[in-house]
A and B are shown apart, each in its own frame.
Chain A
Amino acid sequence: MNLFCVGLSHHTADVETRERFAGHAETDGILRGAGCTEALLLTTCNRVEVYAASEKRVSTDEIARCLVRNIENDRSEYAPPFYRYEDEKCVQHLFCVASGLDSMVVGESEILGQAKKAYESARKSGAAGPWLHRLFQRAFRVAKQVRTHTEITRGSVSVGSVAVDLAQRIFGQLSSCKVLVLGAGETSERTARALVSRGVTDLRVSNRSSDRAQELARLVGGRAVRFDEWPQQCREIDILITSTSSETPLLTPKMLAPMLRNRVDRPLFIIDIAVPRDVEPSVNEMHGVYLYDIDSLQSVAEQSLALRRQQITAAEAIITEHVADFGKSISDKLNCKAPSAERRALGETPLHTSEL
């Protein structure tokens, strides 16, 4: 049996190329028609991959032809960006993909859910059989182990999630935190949504345009407050998200000092995502005030990514161990089940030769 993976990802192809080969619902069936005994299509925004098992060799071109949306495309146009992994390399690649090592954002966990979904879909359609079942079940186990035993998923890597993580490092539980969103931009909306998803219930929105404030308040489940009221609101709130288009700073230490007078033991977390900035940087020097502008949030995200990259070696060690073990278990199964003649036949396949 030949186990292989053919695909393209953000490493090898741009988004336009990936779109052309994104496959479709019936791809699994078509792949079986092309000669694959079992086939599974994994499609995400960053990759299009086919995992398959076949008795005879199925060429990369044949796989690509099954995937391509526009059948009139010339073969030479789509063949180059594809990579192909066979047997042990294929197993290793899938383990890396499922563990988030091959993702654009190293350690992201969305890929595991997408792989599970792809497997479930292939299983239901009957396209995935015992080979892919074993392979994917092991991949899910490996991904879980990598997440548990390394820090590959540690830290946040987007502005919104960094802001939420910081808020939790300051306040712990966010359910009792009061949040004011000043300026109803897209990033502040995303950040507000992230905070709501972590338990924030008291959310106020203030914007020069009251219509936009009301709209955002409705979207995130908060309440709109008049723009001229935001300085008063600052006395009550715990988290301020600001992203107005003001040319001059809205918040200075002089303005903030009287607001902080009665809240000496309550920290104030300010997320300034406006460019130019809404809050004077010197505000961060005030007691109990933690100011993060867009650059500092991005720098924290970068630190997280760097830390995740440091964990790649540890994750790879786990994967290598599992690849060897998986190969051995498959080999043992073949030796147990296959009659001697069949074993000899299997021994000639690349799968068995590579101890898979």
Chain B
Amino acid sequence: MDRQLLIVSTLCFLAAIGRTIISLRAGIFRPGQFNFLAIGLGFIFQTAFLSIRGHALGRCPLTNLFEVFIFLAWSVALIYMLVGPAYRLSLMGAFTAPLVVLLQGFALIAPIDIRHPVKLPANPWLEFHASISLVAYGAFALACIAGVMYLVQERQLKTHQLHSIFSHLPPLTDLFAAITRLLWWGFALYTLGLASGFFVGQPLPYVQVVCAFGVWLLYAVILQGRHLRRLAPKHVAALCIVGFSAALALLWGITFTAQMQSLP
């Protein structure tokens, strides 16, 4: 039942992508309400899935790589729902939907939904640490998407090729403002997640802690560079992509290691 909800959710996100492709083929690429509604509907199904899974597990559904991917996709959609309309970045939906489909599609296809042999005891600190960190990842993912949009727009303006398929991208200054805000949100949430990790009551793997601090440091450097105006907006946008790739690699590493350790 819960997987079916996830399939329906993925179909909603696919509908948003389909609509974008049809628009592109017709030569019209206007940010419309359809994408926002499709993503909104997909988000509702994601939430329903996580809720059912959470009730079944009796804890926050972050017990294996499959659930982590779905939670991450949910976070990305959540942050988009909060940020997209607020900063007039509805076109971001066209970039967000493929990322969500990629995450959910991989989670559904790959054999990573491995149930734990024993029921894991509830640990509020661990659940808080994992969930808040993943919401931070959602903000970093959106910052990465806004970074891609910024670089595309910047490239078009520099090369004077302004009539490509992405001619309806938001203005550079709006995109940069959105990147900055998303980075701050993500950084604050990630810091909170990182700090709460010390209260989980379990020994922390040394490599994971170092990597997590590495990612935290990378985002701190980006924000400091932005704050001191040492980094040009173009570099901030590029570093958002690097930062999210590093964060994603770390997330994979942590979840994979944890899953391996829990196997008998």
Contact = CB atoms under 8 A, between A and B. Distances in A.
Interface of A: 150-151, 154-155, 166, 168-172, 262, 264-265, 267, 284, 287-288, 290, 292, 296, 299-300, 303-304, 306-307, 310-311, 314
- Most chain A CB atoms below 10 A, which of B160, B167, B171: B160
A155 B173 contact: no
Kindly list the 3 A-B residue pairs having the minimum CB-CB distance in the complex, ordered from nearest: A172-B171, A303-B163, A287-B232
Interface of B: 26-28, 153, 157-158, 160-163, 167, 169-174, 176, 226, 229-234
Given A287-B232, A290-B157, A171 B171 contact: yes
Contacts of A303: 161-163
Given A267-B172, A307-B27, A310-B27, A169 B229 contact: no
B232 A171 contact: no
B72 to A, nearest CB: 30
A169 B162 contact: yes
Contacts of A304: 163
A268 to B, nearest CB: 12
Nearest to B226: A265
Nearest to A174: B171
Given A169-B157, A172-B170, A265 B229 contact: yes
Nearest to A176: B173
B221 to A, nearest CB: 16
Given A169-B162, A303-B162, A306-B163, 8 more contacts: A154-B167, A169-B171, A169-B172, A170-B157, A171-B173, A287-B232, A288-B233, A292-B160
A134 B7 CA distance: 51
B230 A265 contact: no
Contacts of B230: 264
B157 A296 contact: no
A264 B230 CA distance: 7
A147 to B, nearest CB: 12
B176 A265 contact: yes
B165 to A, nearest CB: 11
Contacts, number: 66
Given A168-B171, A267-B173, A304-B163, A150 B28 contact: yes
A90 B221 CA distance: 67
Contacts of A290: 157-158
A172 B233 contact: no
A201 B42 CA distance: 44
Nearest to B231: A264
B175 to A, nearest CB: 9
11 contacts: A150-B28, A155-B163, A169-B162, A170-B173, A171-B172, A172-B170, A264-B229, A265-B229, A290-B157, A292-B160, A306-B163
Nearest to A150: B28
B173 A172 contact: yes
B19 to A, nearest CB: 15
Contacts of A296: 160
A303 B172 CA distance: 21
Contact of A151 (B27, B162, B174, B176): B27
A307 B162 CA distance: 11
Contacts of A288: 232-234
Contacts of B153: 169
A350 to B, nearest CB: 37
B90 to A, nearest CB: 14
Contacts of B231: 264
A167 to B, nearest CB: 9
A300 B34 CA distance: 30
- Most chain A CB atoms below 10 A, which of B28, B153, B161, B230: B28
B233 A299 contact: no
A172 B178 CA distance: 13
B174 A166 contact: no
Contacts of A168: 171
B260 to A, nearest CB: 44
A304 B163 CA distance: 7
Nearest to A293: B160
B160 A300 contact: yes
A265 B172 contact: no
A192 B176 CA distance: 26
Contact of B28 (A151, A262, A306): A151
Nearest to B169: A169
Nearest to A168: B171
A272 to B, nearest CB: 13
- Most chain B CB atoms below 10 A, which of A155, A172, A306: A172
A150 B28 CA distance: 7
B28 A265 contact: no
Contacts of B160: 292, 296, 299-300
B163 A307 contact: yes
A38 B158 CA distance: 55
